């Protein structure tokens, strides 16, 4: 019978042999999820024996992680912006960088009521769900080409009690049609990885996360160009456009927004000092 310590040590060795980064942390997080406790609580119960059910589930999860399946998909959820968000292989795993995007929007418009917001690229729903939680009386439309992603996002909105504030639409942005001057804000974290860059990404990404949500199968700027052009029509006067961008993309996206006559354009840096958020005003 395995104890908690035995299980963590053996699993760490296994994951290290498979080349998994932060093997010990992965082993501990997976076991903590199974035991329904915090990771640090494992250190207070190292001698606790695991039941057969716990052992079998842990072995299954460790085997999946050893095949590079992301920990977040195995567990089935992440904590993002202090909210629980369910994820599966239909949606991207939320990244810390997107918190910068949301912090920027919330800080700049938190005192305005009744805003109409368009989110392009719903994914797991982190952008519309967080905005709905923090903005008073906001009316949010969130669109995604993937019906599976829409289902995940709807469940996350329901779980976080904001489902009445968000209208999720299964729609391709290139076929979408909204009224002129309809929105106060348009926000997007679009597929921005170029086809050339995509092939060099980690196995955890290329083998498990949805390709359609990662790359535009071109130079990485397809969505920025199209959304910016449409934002000129769909935004109200003085309406704001917010993008999350990839590393070294900020100058090009600023150029795109300038070409479409946006003003007060600015770039904001993430925790690694990378320009990650671009904002502009119609």
Helix ranges, 115-173 (H) = 126-134, 147-159
| Residue 116, helix vs strand vs coil | strand
What pLDDT score does 111 carry?
A: 81
Burial class of residue 163 in the structure, from the number of CB atoms within 10 Å of its CB (0-12 exposed, 13-18 middle, 19+ buried): middle
Domains of the chain, by residue range, sit at 4-67, 90-281
Q: How many CB atoms lie within 10 A of CB 217?
A: 14
The pLDDT averaged over each successive group of 10 residues in the chain (282 residues) is 95 97 97 96 94 97 97 97 96 94 92 92 98 93 98 98 97 95 97 96 95 97 98 97 97 98 96 95 96
Amino acid 183: pLDDT: 98
User: How far is 20 from 169, CA to CA, in rounded Å?
Assistant: 37
Which pLDDT value is given to residue 174? 96
Non-local (6+) Cβ contacts of 272 within 8 A are none
Determine whether 214 is exposed, middle or buried from the number of CB atoms within 10 Å of its CB (0-12, 13-18, 19+).
Answer: middle
Residues 6+ apart with CB under 8 A from 177: none
**CATH, domain range 4-67:** 1.10.8
Asked if the domains at 4-67 and 90-281 fall in one CATH topology, the answer is no
How far, in Å, CA of 210 to CA of 220, rounded? 16
What torsion do the CA atoms of 138, 80, 238, 177 make, to the nearest 10 degrees?
-70
- Asked if 106 contacts 135 with a C-beta cutoff of 8 angstroms, the reply is yes
Question: What is the reported pLDDT for 109?
Answer: 87
pLDDT of residue 113: 85
**CA–centroid distance for 59 within its chain:** 28
pLDDT value of position 110: 80
- pTM, two decimals, is 0.93
The topology under which CATH files domain 90-281 is Rossmann fold (3.40.50)
């Amino acid at each position: 019978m395995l104890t908690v310590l035995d299980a963590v040590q053996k699993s760490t060795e296994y994951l290290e042999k498979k080349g998994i980064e932060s093997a010990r942390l992965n082993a501990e997080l997976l076991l903590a999820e199974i035991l329904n406790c915090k990771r640090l609580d494992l250190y207070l119960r190292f001698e606790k024996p695991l039941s057969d059910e716990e052992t079998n589930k842990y072995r299954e999860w460790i085997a999946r992680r050893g095949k590079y399946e992301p920990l977040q998909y195995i567990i089935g959820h992440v904590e993002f912006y202090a909210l629980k968000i369910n994820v599966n292989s239909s949606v991207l795993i939320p990244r810390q960088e997107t918190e910068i995007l949301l912090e920027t929007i919330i800080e700049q418009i938190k005192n305005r009521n009744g805003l109409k917001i368009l989110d392009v690229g719903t994914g797991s729903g982190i952008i519309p769900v967080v905005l709905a939680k923090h903005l008073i009386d906001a009316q949010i439309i969130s669109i995604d080409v993937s019906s599976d992603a829409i289902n995940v996002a709807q469940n996350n909105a329901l779980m976080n009690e904001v489902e009445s504030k968000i209208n999720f639409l299964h729609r391709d942005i290139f076929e979408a049609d909204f009224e002129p001057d309809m929105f106060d804000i348009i926000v997007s974290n679009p597929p921005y990885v170029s086809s050339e860059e995509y092939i060099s990404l980690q196995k955890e990404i290329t083998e498990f996360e949805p390709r359609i949500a990662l790359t535009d199968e071109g130079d990485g700027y397809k969505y920025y160009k199209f959304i910016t052009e449409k934002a000129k029509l769909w935004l109200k006067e003085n309406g704001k456009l917010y993008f999350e961008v990839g590393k070294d993309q900020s100058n090009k996206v600023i150029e795109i927004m300038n070409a479409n006559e946006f003003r007060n354009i600015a770039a904001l840096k993430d925790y690694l000092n990378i320009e990650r958020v671009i904002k502009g005003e119609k």
